[in-house]
């Protein structure tokens, strides 16, 4: 019998449109499907707590799908090379297939593993399972990576999108030997989900990880909410966005699958084209983040614009804590931070508001915010999170200018005009009428009394006043402009 081949699943926990799995099956050899909980091994960034919660569900669902196809998931724990070499020793595997990943430490590790295994005589093949285009495929006329989104989007739209591969019905397998059984670890024993205390009690009611659920969410979204997405996506009280981000994060759905489904629908219902284009452009933002992460591997760790190295951050730990707990006294900020804590997700518009508030109103280094999001988001993504934080901070390769400082009151009034979003996540303000819900400190005493609100007792007053905080941020930024100039932001 032919020696088996390995498929190493990493953030591509699906059977459909999985090129590494498809190529392994095409060899005709028995396929062993494995994944490795690498955690902090090999310099990889440890996964945050909310993402670990998701990973548990994702791996469980993957194993179920594999079993339906006649295979099963071999779950390993520890440094990847050791784990893979142990499987090779136990099975005599002759080849390994994986889909690529793009954070610097991941690339370095994969290159090392590839070299070691190739030196041992194994065939190692990698594929694009995560993106529409590889970071090196979409280049400007000078043959360089794009630095700015709009021309990047134009270039992407001019390229064909590869058709997604169907999920295999069966996966040729091999019974597990004693050696393999000895290597496998038990998912439940890995402690990916919190128990004591279980801070994720609301996650289960909000999210269902897994490929089948990702597909269902896409179908529900396309049938129910795509119409009106372009406008509705900015209203946090409405369920108007796809909420596919954690499914994307764990590769339970591929951008090619989404592209295909959306294009197909627009073929049948051309009136949806403007909403569809907006959605697809968001999916391209995701590719763009990955492209930038690939070109600038330091994005999660360091401000890209050199002058931000000297930014006079205040970094007051009390302010950071108030922000994390949703107790800044700005209702839209607090609602967002509490949505994040309770559900592991936050609406995009509110992510922008809370991020701007932390960096600019509180003069807190964006990396503190990035780290908190990394720990608390179920969709915490190495490229999107770092890139988005630098975009808001004004320090990124393509970013919003620093002097664009969101006013949390007017943002709230514009995007949550009735205050429904605030009422959902800041229940102590539920009785405040819409005209004061985003600035309860302006409400007459009688209105607050009727609403059962006592500022600084039942709900905090503003942690910093908006006007002076804005001026302080601009002065801090000007101190950089008067000093050393970086090159990146001045284009
Ligand atoms: C400070 C900050 C941090 C963020 N951190 C993350 C993160 O860790 N992980 C993450 O996936 N997104 C992140 N985003 C981007 C965005 O907020 C989420 O992708 C979006 O809210 C997910 O909701 P959705 O799936 O309903 O999006 P939809 O509007 O339905 O969009 C569809 C898909 O497009 C992609 N997408 C949407 N908006 C963006 C964007 N601005 N940048 C890149 N891709 C996008 C996502 O994969 C999303 O699932 C961050 C944004 C900000 C401002």
pLDDT of residue 102 exceeding 90, the answer is yes
Maximum separation of any 2 CA atoms in the chain, in Å: 83
Distance, in Å, from the CA atom of 48 to the CA atom of 51, rounded to the nearest integer, reads 5
Catalytic residue among 54, 259, 389, 391: 389
Q: What is the dihedral of CA 154, 155, 159, 163, to 10 degrees?
A: -70
For ligand 1, say whether the CB of 243 is within 6 Å of any of its atoms: yes
Distance, in Å, from the CA atom of 393 to the CA atom of 396, rounded to the nearest integer, reads 7
Q: What is the pTM of this model?
A: 0.97
pLDDT of residue 491 exceeding 80, the answer is no
pLDDT score of 483: 47
3-state SS assignment for residue 133: coil
> Whose CA is closest to atom 31 on ligand 1?
282
Catalytic residue among 176, 199, 313, 441: 313
Q: How far is CA 99 from CA 7, 23, 125, 313, in A?
A: 9, 11, 8, 39
pLDDT score of 402: 85
Write the pLDDT tens digit of every residue in 160-209.
Answer: 999 999 999 999 998 899 999 999 999 999 999 998 889 999 999 999 99
pLDDT score of 484: 44
Reading the block at residue 127, the tokens are: 């594929």
Write the pLDDT tens digit of every residue in 409-418.
Answer: 999 999 999 9
Is 199 part of the annotated catalytic residue set? no
- Kindly tell me the sign of the dihedral angle through the C-alpha atoms of 90, 96, 100, 105: positive
Q: How far is CA 86 from CA 96, 99, 115, 183, in A?
A: 13, 21, 17, 8
Determine the distance from the C-alpha atom of residue 336 to the mean position of all C-alpha atoms in its chain, rounded to a whole number: 16
For ligand 1, say whether the CB of 15 is within 6 Å of any of its atoms: no
> Whose CA is closest to atom 24 on ligand 1?
243
Determine the distance from the C-alpha atom of residue 172 to the mean position of all C-alpha atoms in its chain, rounded to a whole number: 33
The answer to whether 373 and 380 have CB atoms below 8 angstroms apart is yes
For ligand 1, say whether the CB of 349 is within 6 Å of any of its atoms: no
Is 98 part of the annotated catalytic residue set? no
Reading the block at residue 257, the tokens are: 């699958």
Q: How much is the mean pLDDT over the chain?
A: 95
Distance, in Å, from the CA atom of 451 to the CA atom of 151, rounded to the nearest integer, reads 50
Write the pLDDT tens digit of every residue in 210-224.
Answer: 999 999 999 999 999
Q: Please give the average per-residue pLDDT across 465-470, as a whole number.
A: 97
Determine the distance from the C-alpha atom of residue 460 to the mean position of all C-alpha atoms in its chain, rounded to a whole number: 31
Is 366 part of the annotated catalytic residue set? yes
């Amino acid at each position: 019998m032919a020696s088996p081949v390995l498929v190493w699943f990493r953030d591509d926990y699906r059977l459909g449109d999985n090129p590494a799995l498809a190529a392994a099956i095409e060899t005709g050899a028995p396929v062993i499907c494995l994944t490795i909980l690498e955690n902090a091994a090999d310099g990889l960034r440890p996964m945050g707590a909310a993402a670990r919660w998701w990973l548990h569900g994702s791996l469980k669902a993957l194993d179920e799908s594999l079993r339906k196809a006649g295979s099963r998931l071999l779950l390993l724990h520890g440094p990847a090379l050791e784990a893979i070499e142990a499987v090779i020793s136990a099975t005599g595997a002759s080849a390994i297939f994986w889909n690529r990943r793009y954070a610097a430490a991941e690339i370095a590790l994969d290159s090392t593993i590839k070299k070691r295994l190739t030196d041992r005589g194994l065939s190692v093949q990698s594929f694009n399972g995560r993106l529409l285009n590889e970071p090196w495929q979409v280049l400007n006329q000078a043959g360089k990576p794009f630095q700015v989104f709009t021309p990047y989007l134009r270039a992407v739209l001019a390229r064909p999108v590869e058709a997604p591969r169907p999920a295999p019905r069966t996966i040729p397998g091999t019974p597990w030997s004693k050696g393999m059984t000895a290597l496998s670890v038990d998912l439940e024993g890995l402690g990916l989900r919190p128990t004591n205390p279980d801070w994720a009690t609301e996650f289960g009611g909000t999210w269902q990880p897994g490929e089948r659920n990702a597909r269902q969410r896409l179908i529900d979204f396309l049938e129910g909410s795509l119409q009106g997405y372009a406008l509705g996506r900015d209203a946090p009280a409405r369920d108007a966005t796809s909420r596919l981000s954690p499914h994307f994060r764990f590769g339970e759905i591929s951008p090619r699958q989404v592209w295909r489904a959306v294009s197909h629908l627009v073929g049948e219902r051309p009136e949806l084209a403007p909403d569809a284009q907006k959605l697809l452009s968001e999916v391209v933002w995701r590719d763009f983040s990955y492209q930038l992460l690939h070109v600038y591997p330091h994005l999660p760790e360091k401000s890209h614009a050199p002058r931000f190295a000297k930014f006079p951050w205040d970094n007051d730990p009390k302010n950071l804590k108030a922000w994390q707990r949703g107790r800044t006294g700005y209702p839209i900020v607090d609602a967002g931070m509490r949505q994040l804590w309770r559900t592991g997700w936050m609406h995009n518009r509110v992510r922008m508001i809370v991020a701007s508030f932390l960096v600019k109103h509180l003069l807190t280094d964006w990396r503190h915010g990035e780290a908190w999001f990394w720990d608390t988001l179920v969709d915490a993504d190495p490229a999107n999170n770092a890139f988005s934080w630098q975009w808001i901070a004004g320090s990124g390769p393509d970013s919003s200018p620093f002097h664009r400082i969101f006013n949390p009151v007017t943002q709230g009034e514009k995007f949550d005009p009735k205050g429904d979003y605030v009422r959902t996540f800041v229940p102590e303000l539920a009785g405040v009428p819409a005209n004061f819900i985003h600035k309860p400190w302006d409400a007459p005493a009688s209105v607050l009394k009727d609403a059962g609100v006592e500022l600084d007792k039942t709900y905090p007053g503003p942690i910093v006043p908006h006007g002076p905080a804005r001026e302080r941020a601009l002065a801090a930024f000007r101190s950089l402009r008067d000093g050393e100039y970086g090159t990146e932001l001045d284009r």
